[in-house]
Structure 1
Amino acid sequence: MAEMIAQINDVINGFVWGVPMMLLIVGTGVYFTIRTGFLQFRKFGYAMKHTIGKCFHKVEAKEGSVTPVQALTTALAATVGTGNIAGVCGAIAAGGPGAIFWMWVSALFGMCTKFAEVTLAIKYRERNDKGDWVGGPMYYIKNGLGQNWKWLGAVFATFGMLAAFGIGNMTQVNTIATTVGSAITQFTALPESTLKIVYLVIGIIVAIISAMVYLGGLKRIGNVTEKLVPFMAVIYIVGCLIVIVTNSQHIGTVFSDIFRGAFNPSAVLGGAIGIGISQAIKKGVGRGVFSNEAGLGSAPIAHAAADTDSPVKQGLFGVFEVFADTIIICTLTALTVMCAFTGNNAIDIPFGQAAGADLAITAFSTTFGGKASGVVVAIGLTLFALSTVLSWGLYGTRCAEFLFGSKIIKPYQVLFCIFMVVGATMKLDLAWAIADTLNGLMAIPNLVALLLLSPVVVKLVREYFADPARELEKKK
């Protein structure tokens, strides 16, 4: 039975993460880029000033909402996850150095896709029974396209509600448990039975932490992510920079390999490995989308709760979100791995084979040593995965609420926490594969809605930047 389910899932997964779907996702970003006059490039400075520049301004959100920055960090908590480490390593190994170039390309256009998603989330959000702002693809489908399209919103919500148990729960907690377990075994050998107990304890701890956050509602999630995301990002970024600076003599070679490998992989790798340009594009774009989630429709659920008076103003946070996730953090992972492996102090990258966080651990070990590198990656992955769990708990809850009403919130969150304990102690190859498929399926109704509502996005952009007050704002 499990084998048959796996085979069916493989077929569906091949479609939702295949070349046609990647072209649709990137194509949607290209379409919005053109329709908005290359907004993410033309207004990049303005977007950074009014997003990251606002992070240092302390403000209080009104009842039923969070601050714009808290909405951003909640969304970033979900996107900055294992994909930034394991996903990037996998893209390099399977697609060669050129995969990073195509990851950048997908992110540059994904900035505009995420901008459109967040803008529509604010435009068509509504209050729930508890007085909280709720929104996301299911709401801009229902409120933007009309009641006749509500079924499409229900399709998105169903995929999102189920995907949250896998991609944002069991697999993340399992990553925390196994990574921490691996770090511990570098210092002391543990039998398998003891390791399983360690995994169980870790699962229980993560479930308790998550339950305490969920009990505090929307504002507590925002308060936690506002502090957790910058902290975890700084730790990981500093670790990466130390490795990169230590191997700085190889940076020129690394960038050369990335750009040459994007269009002629065999020139960098040799033809024997069997990685062609199509493989580089597929792995780069696929892992890029998986990491920053542009087009998947998840992040707008967090942004919909922002205390803002302008859909476009919050949409600019979507531009920064993709930039921070892929252009900064994913690039740092790629440079760390490739700079470390370009030197004479490490084994070769296993091109053409599957790879994950183990590749990052080996890269860090060239500078920090074996035991310390395991600890660095374990801390990074633990914080990344924990933040993902917290945000996806919100996403899954909002999707379930759309389908069943506010009465489902607490039961869903209790079940969500129970699955964390289950995920920590199981082998999750099939669960990961199914969750990956459901995550990709979320994109289909979302992309349909984005394209149909594109005139609304274009109109909002024109009105926002045509406002005379905006010109005064830019001069300040």
Structure 2
Amino acid sequence: MEMINQFLLTLDGFLGSAAYFPFVLLGVGFFFTLYLKFPQIRFFKHAWGVVTGKFKKPGAEGDTSHFQALSTALSGTVGTGNIGGVAFAIFLGGPAALFWMWMTAFLGMTTKFVEVTLSHKYREKTPDGTMAGGPMYFMDKGLNMKWLGVLFAIATVASAFGTGSMPQSNNIAVGLEDTFGIDPFITGGILSILLALVVLGGIKRIAKVTSALVPTMSVVYVIGALAVIFYNIDNLWPSFASVWQDAFTGSAAAGGFLGATFAYAFNRGVNRGLFSNEAGQGSAPIAHASAKTDEPVAEGMVSILEPFIDTIIICTLTGMVILSSGVWTDKHQNVFQRADMTFVEGIYSDDKQEDRQQLFQYLTLQDNQVKKYSGSIELIEGTPVNPDFTLIAARSIAEDIRFSIDGYPYSGLVTVVDGRLTDPSIRVEGRSLIHSTKLTTLAFTKGFFGENGKYIVSIGLLLFAFSTAIAWCYYGDRAMIYLVGIRGVMPFRVFYVAGFFTAAISDTTLVWNLAAVAIVIMTLPNLFGLLMLRKEMKSEVGKYWEKMKEK
């Protein structure tokens, strides 16, 4: 498992974590924002009119209404990225990461407008009478680059597992286990059956379910978030200020948080922003291609609202809950995930500025004197005897560490090689920073609802993540139709549901890293295609407004 995780991290180093990727993603959004003269601002009001049916044209081809298409696309984006993803970004990059999530969303509103418009224009009717669209179709028919369409479709199928199925299931299972003590195996089994019942009904059943889930889950989550924010109202302005102050400098060390450079906060903020709103990834256009309209630009208008709702509203609420509650800098008792642990030589302390600086350089991959530990550790009743090492867990100095096997304190020797435990049966627990869903869940208990706040996160997570899994199954089966035709849909759905179940009992860090890789493999071909069709996009917008003037 650790070898797979390391491979994914290495691959991510050339993709999402590479220095060029945030600039490519934001650069395309910035280019189209200028090229189309700030459509995310100019067309914002008109977009609400379209989604509410103000410009509805009877008899238009399609499978869903504008609202249902928006709900399906939102169900694909409003998911674990809004709960666990924001927490993960802050855990890695501090408050500054939230600023870059905002920037990703603002520019992403334009990117999504472009990708949805072009995908809707080149959509096709399948043999079963439903619509199929997405970037693979404009790459094929608009650019005459079928090979690129095939590459994108393959990446979409992979991303369906890495973005839609596995992270969602994993986060649901972790959240329900932490809150209600439900075994992940049971969670995965029950939800896999429910998922199968929904997705086998096709886009109409999917749209019906998501159009009910999205408004419900959003209201529940917003109420819970505001209960924490108003409870910690004195910390609200300092939290906002830290986001802006650290945006171009990086986040300073605070509590157990050892700090983050500007580059790291920028990269993680953009990366998590993409995971949350998927602007530029090319996924949402697949849902919007099902909308009943003969005007591709009209559906593009609807999509402008997605990053706004997903990131500017919901992710901001999550971020303010975490920052205002203060839990992100505190160490908490938890079981350390193996992928989060590294043993280093020597004894380091949070109380020493020199130690903090050295570990900060180590975590940010700068040259320093910190070395990974190799050797044997003697334990008595789970406690190290005369330790000559420091355990870094979740990017913080672990405290009060205990080793156990099958729930019992372990006595004897354990071996560490190059910073990693060699015995997979050893469980290590203690106090450290926490991240992802666990961090958000804890933050929600610091409000007017007290400990009951964790139930809001669990319910929100269940609805968010489950609806995301539903939408991504649709994205994947549309990609399979493009690749092999209708015959590929059912096998894909079976494997998709199986992956959903398997991820419920998998390592959280591994699943997040898989998602990070899958996203970028899908995004880069899509952004290339959008730039190639820039003149066509501008022409489509001009034609649309000419038609609107005639009405």
TM-score by length of 1: 0.88
* Residue matched to 2:130: 132
**1:187-266 maps to which residues of 2 (within 5 A)?**
198-265=183-250
Q: Quick one: which of 348, 360, 365 aligns to 2:329?
A: 348
How far, CA to CA, are the matches of 1:160 and 1:443 in structure 2?
Answer: 9
Report the equivalent of 2:70. Answer: 72
Q: Deviations over 1:376-426 (max 9, x none)?
A: 111111111100110011011111121111011122112222222222233
CA shift, 1:165, in A, is 2.0
Q: Which letter does structure 1 place at the counterpart of 2:34? A: I
1:319 corresponding residue in structure 2? 304
Cα distance in 1, alignment partners of residues 325 and 511 from structure 2: 33
Partner of 1:364: 444
Conserved? CA contact 1:138–1:157, under 8 Å = yes
Q: Alignment RMSD, CA only? A: 2.5
Deviation at 1:268, TM superposition (A): 8.3
Per the alignment, residue 109 of structure 2 pairs with: 111
Deviations 1:327-358 (A, max 9, x none): 000001011112222xxxx6835696562122
- More displaced, 10-19 or 289-298? 10-19
User: Relative to 1, partners in 2 of residues 1:107 and 1:349: Cα closer, same or farther, differing over 3 Å?
Assistant: farther
Distance (Å, rounded) in 1 between the aligned partners of 2:494 and 2:143: 33
Tell me the residue number matched to 2:38: 38
Q: Aligned equivalents of 1:175 and 1:268: distance in 2? A: 28
Q: What per-residue deviation string (whole Å, max 9, x for no partner) do you get for residues 32-66 of structure 1?
A: 11111111122222223333x449x9999877511
Deviation at 1:369, TM superposition (A): 5.8
2:543 to 463, 471, 474: 463
Larger RCO (alpha carbons 8 Å, 6+ apart): 1
Distance 1:262 1:374 in 2: 30
Task: Write the letter of the residue equivalent to 1:118.
Answer: V
CA distance in 1, matches of 2:324, 2:442: 12
Match of 1:384 among 458, 464, 469: 464
- Secondary structure in 2 aligned to 1:297? coil
Query: Which ranges of structure 2 fall in alignment gaps of 5 or more residues?
Result: 332-393, 397-433
- How far residue 467 of structure 1 moved from its aligned partner, in angstroms, is 3.1
Equivalences for 1:133-212 in 2 at 5 Å? 133-146=131-144, 149-185=145-181, 198-212=183-197
1:206 and 1:445 map into 2 onto residues whose CA distance is: 33
How many residues get paired? 451
Cα distance per residue 1:77-118 (max 9 Å; x no partner): 010011111111122222121221121111110100000010
> Within 1, Cα distance between the matches of 2:509 and 2:548?
55
* CA distance in 2 between partners of 1:59 and 1:423 (Å): 43
Query: Which residue number in structure 2 is paired with residue 189 of structure 1?
Result: none
* SS of equivalent to 2:329: coil
Structure holding more strand per residue: 2
Secondary structure of residue in 2 paired with 1:305? coil
Paired with 2:263 and 2:177, the residues of 1 have a C-alpha distance of 37
Q: 1:390 to 1:106 in 2, by over 3 A?
A: same
Tell which structure's C-alpha radius of gyration is larger: 2
TM-score norm. by structure 2 comes to 0.77
Q: Which amino acid aligns with 1:158?
A: I
Q: Which amino acid aligns with 1:381?
A: L
Residues of 2 paired with 1:31 and 1:268: CA distance?
35
Q: CA offset at residue 233 of structure 1?
A: 0.6
Is the alpha carbon distance of 1:467 and 1:432 closer, same or farther for their aligned partners in structure 2, counting shifts above 3 Å? same
CA displacement at 1:374 relative to structure 2:
2.2
Q: Is the 8 A contact 1:65 1:305 kept in 2?
A: yes
Report the structure, 1 or 2, having the larger helix content: 1
Post-superposition shift, 1:468? 4.9
